[in-house]
């Protein structure tokens, strides 16, 4: 019997992941938890707990009392915000992970999902078709925390048999919840400005190519990875995963196919150097071989779906 806890459930990934987990397991078996005092509207169909992942005792109590078998640990500061609050980013991104890894080591959890990112790679990494195993010298606080997290996940698996599974997500694109402080967020914001009829000011240069993925693909990958038989999981740091890759100019041109008067201007800021330190495309052959990963959404597909579904009212909601 699976009973899951999603920590950081109120964010871009969590709001969609919880809904899918509730469909699979039954609402009462997928508990959403977040720092936010109010349960996000889309998560009201099941249990919600206000929780600070940095409160180790509170997290332990919920997991033990509720007989949780699986944790999805999503609470983190993303790349752009982390550069502004490096000390806190390191604390949040690492301490919560240790709390959960230790609970699994003590036998309270059967499985953990912890997301990594393309941010584990750095300026010295081969940029195109970045391999699963390669030079990794991340130059951002966020990337350093994700790389350290990957090493600890593998360590807890090797030394203590903790069944922890992970994906290096690319930039994720979705319409249900706004993204929270990443470098790839421009590729979501652009749809809201196109819908509003505004000229979009992009904080990256026109030719900055980054790996991206539509959220539905990311959620499907996460569920498939977590359901894969244990002997299929050959990577215990984190799996490379690829959806599509594009530049700001390419996504703007695709939007223009639907919104002919759409305009974009380029005004790069501090996030340009973060983006330049990351790969432009990812080799995910190991995920394909091990647990049958295959993306479904191309740039064209995700532009269609986003333009159909973005709701500009989200921009003025809390």
* Interface residue list for ligand NAD (CB under 6 A): 7-8, 10-14, 34-36, 51-54, 74-76, 78, 92, 115, 117, 169, 171-172, 179-180, 182, 184
CB of 231 to ligand NAD, least distance (A): 26
Contact between 183 and ligand AKB (CB under 6 A)?
Answer: yes
CB of 119 to ligand AKB, least distance (A): 5
Task: Tell me how far apart the alpha carbons of residues 239 and 171 are, in angstroms, rounded to a whole number.
Answer: 15
Nearer to ligand NAD by Cβ, of 29 and 238: the residue is: 238
Token pair recorded at residue 206: 């026109």
Contact between 92 and ligand AKB (CB under 6 A)?
Answer: no
C-beta separation of 35 from 75 below 8 A: yes
CB of 1 to ligand NAD, least distance (A): 25
Contact between 46 and ligand AKB (CB under 6 A)?
Answer: no
CB of 201 to ligand AKB, least distance (A): 18
Nearer to ligand AKB by Cβ, of 104 and 204: the residue is: 204
Strands 210-214, 244-246: parallel, antiparallel or unpaired by DSSP?
antiparallel
Nearer to ligand NAD by Cβ, of 76 and 225: the residue is: 76
Partners of 265 in the β-ladder: 201
- Please name the residues in contact with 35: beta carbons below 8 A apart, sequence gap of 6 or more: 10, 50, 51, 52, 53, 75
Task: Tell me how far apart the alpha carbons of residues 206 and 23 are, in angstroms, rounded to a whole number.
Answer: 40
- DSSP 8-state code for residue 311: -
CB burial readout 262-277, b (16+ within 10 A) else e: bebebebeebbebbbb
Nearer to ligand AKB by Cβ, of 118 and 202: the residue is: 118
Give residue for tokens 């953990």. 112
Contact between 182 and ligand AKB (CB under 6 A)?
Answer: yes
Part of the chain binding ligand AKB (CB under 6 A), chosen from 120-128, 179-187, 243-251, 260-268: 179-187
Contact positions toward ligand AKB, by CB under 6 A?
78-79, 117-119, 142, 171, 182-184
């Amino acid at each position: 019997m699976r009973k899951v806890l999603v920590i950081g459930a109120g964010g871009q990934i969590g709001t969609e992941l919880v809904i899918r987990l509730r469909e699979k397991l039954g609402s009462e078996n997928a508990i959403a938890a977040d720092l936010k005092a109010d349960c996000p509207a889309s998560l009201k169909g099941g249990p919600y707990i206000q929780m600070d992942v940095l409160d180790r005792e509170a997290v332990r109590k919920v997991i033990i009392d509720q007989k949780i078998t699986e944790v999805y640990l999503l609470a983190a500061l993303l790349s752009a915000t982390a550069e502004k609050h490096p000390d806190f980013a390191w604390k949040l991104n690492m301490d919560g992970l240790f709390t959960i890894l230790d609970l699994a080591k003590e036998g309270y959890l059967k499985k953990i999902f912890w997301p990594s990112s393309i941010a584990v790679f750095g300026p010295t990494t081969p940029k195109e078709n970045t391999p699963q195993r390669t030079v990794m010298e991340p130059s951002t606080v966020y990337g350093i925390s994700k790389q350290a997290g990957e090493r600890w996940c593998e360590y807890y698996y090797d030394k203590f048999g903790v069944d922890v599974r992970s994906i290096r997500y690319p930039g994720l694109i979705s319409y249900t919840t706004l993204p929270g402080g990443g470098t790839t967020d421009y590729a979501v914001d652009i749809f809201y400005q196109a819908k509003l009829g505004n000229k979009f000011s992009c904080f990256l240069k026109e030719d900055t190519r980054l790996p991206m993925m539509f959220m539905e693909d990311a959620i499907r990958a996460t569920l498939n990875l977590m359901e894969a038989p244990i002997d299929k999981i050959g990577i215990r740091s984190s799996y490379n995963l690829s959806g599509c890759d594009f530049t700001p100019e390419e996504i703007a041109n695709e939007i223009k196919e639907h919104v002919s008067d759409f305009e974009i201007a380029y005004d790069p800021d501090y996030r340009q150097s973060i983006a330049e330190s990351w790969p432009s495309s990812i080799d995910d052959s190991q995920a394909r071989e091990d647990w049958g990963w295959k993306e479904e959404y191309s740039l064209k597909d995700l532009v269609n779906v986003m333009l159909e579904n973005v709701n500009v009212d989200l921009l003025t909601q809390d």
